[in-house]
Amino acid sequence: MKQQILMKEQELQKSQEELAKMKRELSSKSSLVLDKEKSIMMLKDEIEALTNDYPQDNNESYAVFQQKAMVIKFRELAEKGIEPSSRQWDVLDNIFESFFKQFRLSLEKNSKLNENEYRICMLVWLGFVPNQMKILMGMSSSNISNIRKRLSKKLFDREMTTSKFDDEIRKIRVED
């Protein structure tokens, strides 16, 4: 009987120790939850401040905000050597075209461009350099260079160096 009592007391002590451990873990997790909730509130405040800086009812400002964010994202991808997903391209294309409606029209006044040609022109206009373009487009440097040379003839009706082509693309005005 004494042995049974001793075993039950040991079991009780072990259960109490486990309960104390679980309470400490719970307290630690509660602290983490509070920290996360504070972080979430701070992020919500930051988002609200950004939204106030770039109000959605002002389409032009909001589009500039979106466009800058996507350009930054594309620069980060290029820096990391990562090709954007088709979804990321679609977002950049849509934002760019919604804000700079005249860009494609200016480019295609004499001939239609395929997707790669248009994207290279867009990247050039946004200030991306050939090394960034090759990563983003998933092409070799020579492919990027050859496309730009062909585009100089197609768009400007004359052969020119790739740097001269880039200068001409960047001169395109996109005001409505």
Whole-number pLDDT of residue 175: 60
What average pLDDT is seen over the chain? 82
Q: How far apart are the first and last CA of the chain?
A: 95
Whole-number pLDDT of residue 44: 62
C-alpha distances (whole Å) from 34 to each of 31, 41, 43, 46 are: 5, 11, 14, 18
- Whether pTM > 0.75 for this model: the answer is no
Whole-number pLDDT of residue 173: 76
Quick one: tokens of 158?
């004359």
pLDDT tens per residue, range 69-95: 888 899 999 999 999 999 999 988 888
Which tops the pLDDT comparison, 161 or 1?
161
Owner of token pair 């960047």:
170
| Contact residues for 154 (Cβ-Cβ < 8 A; gap 6+) | 110, 111, 113, 117
C-alpha distances (whole Å) from 38 to each of 14, 16, 102 are: 36, 33, 44
Q: In this model, does residue 127 exceed pLDDT 50? A: yes
Q: In this model, does residue 123 exceed pLDDT 90? A: yes
Q: Are the CB atoms for 43 and 50 separated by under 8 Å?
A: no
